[in-house]
A and B are shown apart, each in its own frame.
Chain A
Amino acid sequence: GDSVTQMEGPVTLSEEAFLTINCTYTATGYPSLFWYVQYPGEGLQLLLKATKADDKGSNKGFEATYRKETTSFHLEKGSVQVSDSAVYFCALIKEGAEGSQGNLIFGKGTKLSVKP
C-alpha cells in the first residue's frame, strides 16, 4: 500500500544551521505531498504542500520540492531558529474514488531540537 518514510530523529541542530529532513514515499498514481509541523503541546499544522511533480512548496523559510523521479519530498531550511523546534510530519494524499479525497497518510514524524 501507499506509505511515507521519514528519516528517524531526533535531529539536534544549532541555531542558524542548515536543516534537511528526508522524506520518501511509495504510492501508485500521483499523490499530493505535504509537510505538517507539531509544536510542543499543540496539534498539527499544515506547513507546506506540493500537488504535482517539480512543484516547490514553501512557507516560513521552509521549502520542499516534489521529486517524482526519486519519489522524495525533502524538507529544507537554510537557517533554523530555536522556535523551529517541533516534530515534522511528511504526508501524502491521493484522489479517492469518483474524485473524492482519499485519506492522508503520515510518516512517523521527525523531532527537531534547535539549540541557541
Chain B
Amino acid sequence: DAGVIQSPRHEVTEMGQEVTLRCKPISGHNSLFWYRQTMMRGLELLIYFNNNVPIDDSGMPEDRFSAKMPNASFSTLKIQPSEPRDSAVYFCASSYSGIQTEAFFGQGTRLTVV
C-alpha cells in the first residue's frame, strides 16, 4: 500500500484565493483526520470523519474552512477565501475504526498564502 497520499505537497497562493487540499486514505481505513501544524500552535486536529461522515469538526477554525469526504477513498479540505494566517502544513491521517493513535499520516501539504 502506498500509504496516505496528499496533494499537492506544496501550494503557494494569493490572499483571497480558494485553496483545495486533497487526501487519499489507506485502502480499508474507515476514519480520516485533518490536522494543521503551525509554529505557534503546534499540531491541531481540525476535523475527523468516520465512514465518510464528519464526526467532530470543532477544530475547524472558521467558516472559511470546509472539509468533505464524498467516498471512502477521497477527502478535501477547502479554504475560501484564504488568508496569510492560514499558512501552515496540513496533514491528513487515516486509521481503522477511528483510533487516532493508530493513524498513519501523509507527508503533508505546505500551504503558503501571500
A residues lining the B interface (CB < 8 Å) = 32, 34, 41-46, 49, 89, 93, 100-101, 103-104, 106-109
The residue of chain A having its C-beta at the shortest distance from the C-beta of B9 within the complex is: A41
Cβ–Cβ < 8 Å partners of A34 in chain B: 101
- The reply to whether A93 and B4 form a contact with Cβ atoms under 8 Å apart is no
- The reply to whether B43 and A32 form a contact with Cβ atoms under 8 Å apart is no
For residue A109, give the distance in angstroms from its CB to the closest CB of chain B: 6
- The reply to whether B108 and A43 form a contact with Cβ atoms under 8 Å apart is yes
CA distance A43 to B103 in the complex (A): 11
CA distance A108 to B43 in the complex (A): 7
Interface size on B, residues (CB 8 A): 20
Can you list 28 A-B pairs with a CB-CB distance of less than 8 A? A32-B101, A34-B101, A42-B105, A42-B107, A43-B4, A43-B91, A43-B93, A43-B104, A43-B105, A43-B106, A43-B107, A43-B108, A44-B91, A44-B93, A46-B102, A89-B42, A89-B43, A100-B98, A101-B100, A101-B101, A103-B100, A104-B45, A104-B100, A106-B42, A106-B43, A106-B44, A107-B42, A108-B42
In the complex, how many residue pairs between chain A and chain B have their CB atoms under 8 Å apart? 45
Closest 5 CB pairs of A and B: A43-B105, A108-B42, A106-B43, A44-B105, A104-B100
- The reply to whether A104 and B101 form a contact with Cβ atoms under 8 Å apart is yes
Residue interface bits B77-112, CB-to-A below 8 A is 1, else 0: 000000000000001010000111110111110000
Is B18 interfacial (CB-CB < 8 Å)? no
Cβ–Cβ < 8 Å partners of B45 in chain A: 103-104
CA distance A36 to B41 in the complex (A): 17
CA distance A104 to B99 in the complex (A): 10
Is B56 interfacial (CB-CB < 8 Å)? yes
Cβ–Cβ < 8 Å partners of B91 in chain A: 43-44
- The reply to whether A41 and B107 form a contact with Cβ atoms under 8 Å apart is yes
